[in-house]
Amino acid sequence: MATLSDVARRAGVSPATASRVINGSSKPVTEELRERVLRAVADLQYVPNAHAQLLARSHRVAVGVIVHDVSDPYFAEITRGLQRVATDQGRLLTICNSYRDPDRELEYVELLRGQQVAAIILAGSGYHDATFTSLLNEKLAAYEATGGRVAVIGRHEHSGDAVMPDNRAGGRLIGAELYELGHRAIGVVAGPAVLTTTTDRLTGLRESLAAHGLSLPAHRVRHAEFDRDSGVAATAALLDADPELTAIVALNDSMAIGALALLRSRSVAVPRQVSVIGFDDMPIARDVTPALTTVRLPLVDMGARAMSLALDPGAAVPRVEILPAEVVRRDSTGPAPAPTTRVR
């Protein structure tokens, strides 16, 4: 690999001069030398060693983000927002997939710290796990102590800049919506109980049902992974245990799509017999049949804001931006059926 000194030698100048023309330093260099250096760079196909540069300037430029899984549309959208702002500001984004493994999350914080990133963004859900949380906070604190910036998306115990989708309000919207449509027997296909995202959404839902005197018994809530196939299984279990249900709430769209698939396979008409409502409004939601009613979260915007917070020199007090959720009505929800038309 050609080095700076190779370039300098070939151009007949010192490495200092070569460095200056290559990086467009403010220090003036004669046109002639400049050209000789540029020619040498081209001849040698020289590319600066990024690590050496990073070491020499002590000025961190990259930013790291830890997500559960970028190929999950939820995170794909958030990442798009992060990426946009990062690129605008000439920052490199390193993406780490934790695959919902808390240990891996911790490892990645260290890794990013070692990479000398300027900021770390935590985009996944928080965990209900005190040991993990305190370990994470310790590591983040150590990072922040050395001037690193941290921003989180969603509820984490970390006290600092944060972007918070209003999951709880979203849950409430779902409850209100279904109540209005006359649903009284509601089943919930929930994500892992250990995630704050799950519990927040569930809490909101419970609140609004309670406001109407309805309760949500534990057997009508099934926890599973936040993916399509788990949605299928959980919906099946729910329906088998409780054929009276007239509405299924899935706590994310992937699971809702699973619910739709299961209902179709059992020839249950949606929304005539059972209504289905999702959460997140990922792009595909409008293309399934029936098109999915869901709660929209401004995912791209959440990413963009988190990155802005992370790159903005920290304010004295933590900044918390709460982003609203809203119902998007499509075709998978309808009035609760009259008793005679109920499933079975």
Partner DNA sequence: AAAGATCAGGCAAGCGCTTTCCTGAGGAGC
Partner DNA sequence: GCTCCTCAGGAAAGCGCTTGCCTGATCTTT
Q: Contact residues for DNA (CB under 7 A)?
A: 1, 3-5, 13-17, 19-20, 22-23, 25, 27-30, 32-33, 46, 48-49, 52-53, 55-59
Which positions from 222 to 241 touch a second copy by CB under 8 A, shown as an x/- string? Answer: ------x-------------
239, containing H or E segment = helix 228-241
Maximal CA-CA distance, the chain: 92
DSSP state letter for 104: H
Per CB under 8 A, the segment of 23-31, 68-76, 149-157, 332-340 that binds a second copy is 68-76
Among 52, 193, 211, 320, binds a second copy (CB under 8 A): 52
d(C-alpha 231, C-alpha 258), whole Å: 5
Query: Which of positions 118-157 make contact with a second copy (CB under 8 A)?
Result: 138-139, 142, 146-147
Start-to-end C-alpha separation, the chain: 72
144/207 with CB nearer a second copy: 144
Per CB under 8 A, the segment of 155-163, 178-186, 254-262, 318-326 that binds a second copy is 254-262
Tokens of 99: 């695959």
* Residue 146 CA, distance from chain mean position: 26
> What is the smallest separation between the CB atom of 108 and DNA, expressed in angstroms?
18
With CB under 5 to 8 Å by kind, the binding choice for 80 among DNA, a second copy, none is a second copy
4/282 with CB nearer DNA: 4
24 forms part of the interface with a second copy (CB under 8 A)? no
- Among 317, 36, 295, 73, which residue's Cα sits nearest to residue 167? 295
d(C-alpha 79, C-alpha 299), whole Å: 9
3-state secondary structure at position 204: helix
- Among 169, 191, 187, 215, which residue's Cα sits nearest to residue 275? 187
Could you tell me if 111 and 82 are in contact, meaning their C-beta atoms sit under 8 angstroms apart? no
Which positions from 257 to 286 touch a second copy by CB under 8 A, shown as an x/- string? Answer: x--xx--x------------------xx-x
- How crowded is the C-beta side of 280, counted as CA atoms within 13 Å? 25
Site residues, a second copy (CB under 8 A): 1-2, 45, 47-52, 54-55, 70-71, 73, 76-77, 79-80, 83, 92, 94-95, 97, 110-111, 113-116, 138-139, 142, 146-147, 228, 257, 260-261, 264, 283-284, 286-289
